[in-house]
Amino acid sequence: MIGTLLAGGLKSVVAVVVVFLVLVTIHEFGHFIVAKKAGVLVPRFAIGFGPALFRFGKGETEYSIRLFPLGGYVQLAGEIPQDTFFKLGERIAVTVDDKGEVTQIAEPQDLPDGLDGNLSAIDTQRSFTLTLATDEGVQRYPISRHAVIVTGKDPIVLAPPDRQMGQKPLYARMLIVLAGPVMNVLLTIVLFAVVAGVIGTPVSPPQIASVLAHSPAYKAGMRAGDVVTAIDGQTVTSWPQFVIDVQEHPGAKLVLRVVRDGTAKSLTVVPEKDSAGNGFIGVVTASNHSIGTSIVGGVQETGQYTQMIYGALGQLFTHRSAFVKDTAGPVKIVTIIGQQAQNGILSLVNLTAILSLNLAIFNLLPIPALDGSRLLFMIVEWIRGKPVDPRKEYMVHAIGFALLILFTVFRTYLDVSQLL
């Protein structure tokens, strides 16, 4: 008994970790790959927040997995104007290579062997130079394309103008921001398609794969292979439509028009009432497992869930109780993932698809610190013909991020309260 409980708990933990890793990695990879294609320097690709548990460098990017798996980030050079890292007049130290280019910038105590002086000027967006006032005079230095800011923690890469996010065309920046949510939508379609491929997509118009013995359908003369084309003279085009028509008429006589071996027949069936009070006749539909049909099913399922999610978002503004009942924080999501893991891999895949779509839609909301807010600032830039002051935009995102943390804490409190 204890062994079974431990196995179930381990399965839930593994499922939670895998689901979060997949969702976050796919989202951040979208930003990452489009940024790379646009020529933006990407110093870091991190899954999770906090201290790094594992890291390695490849090319110009450091990849890491961090302690807290609820999120991740891709550091895009120049997303925050690099001039804001410095304060004119402050005392700094630099190292200069054989070409006379600055390769390292730090506080004097972090670079004891460097050339130190007061920062007179710095331009990281155009000329890529800095001016230092030392005891020997004022000297202007070009900055190396591989320069870093040395800090007590991880060094910060100082990207040249052509590798900065903020210096790229507006359309390129918008594509980089959109790429994360788009990747989550594509993941949703793929996962729904996988589920549809395994379970099968009902054939349209509905074709009967099997008939339960002694069921209302069997007594009415229905047989495997029959294609249902109409009920009471109304054309039937899909299995869901057929099921709804049957469920809504327990105890009533329904005249089914079916095609069997190319010949049309009329059969009269009386649905029995099940435990829920719905009508049933005892048939199983034929399913299509082809790749093309599965992909179409994945797209359709994604569209249906998108409508449901936006409908639920609308409810949050019209019904205050919907926030408590219809939303979920980290604790509730973890609990649901664990439950679905116990129900089997297909249930978990289906839930992952739904969570991926929720992540995409939530990120596109115009909430500060989210992708939707960044897109909103870019739309304002497009309308105005010039960008919003980067320092003001950064402040808005910083405040938004703090509010999101508070919201998460509050939602977690509600989750725990509901569970208890």
Active site residues per annotation: 28
Report how far residue 8's alpha carbon sits from residue 340's, in angstroms, rounded to the nearest whole number: 11
Give burial (CB, 10 Å; 0-12/13-18/19+) of 172: middle
Q: Give the three-class secondary structure for 222.
A: coil
Cβ neighbours of 72 (radius 10 Å): 24
Q: Which residues contact 301 (CB under 8 A, 6 or more apart)?
A: 192, 196, 353
Tokens coding 352 = 């992952």
Q: Give the three-class secondary structure for 67.
A: strand
Report how far residue 15's alpha carbon sits from residue 268's, in angstroms, rounded to the nearest whole number: 48
Largest CA distance in the chain: 104
23 to 69, 178, 181: CA distances (angstroms): 11, 15, 10
What residue type is assigned to position 66 of the chain? R
How does DSSP assign 243-271, residue by residue? HHHHHT-TTS-EEEEEEETTEEEEEEE-P
Task: Name which of 185, 171, 418, 175 is nearest 309 in CA terms.
Answer: 185
| 8 A C-beta contact, residue 247 and residue 279 | yes
Q: Kindly state the helix (H) or strand (E) to which residue 179 belongs, with its residue range.
A: helix 170-199
Cβ neighbours of 386 (radius 10 Å): 9
Per DSSP, 333 falls in state: H
Report how far residue 169's alpha carbon sits from residue 164's, in angstroms, rounded to the nearest whole number: 11
Give burial (CB, 10 Å; 0-12/13-18/19+) of 241: middle
Report how far residue 203's alpha carbon sits from residue 285's, in angstroms, rounded to the nearest whole number: 7
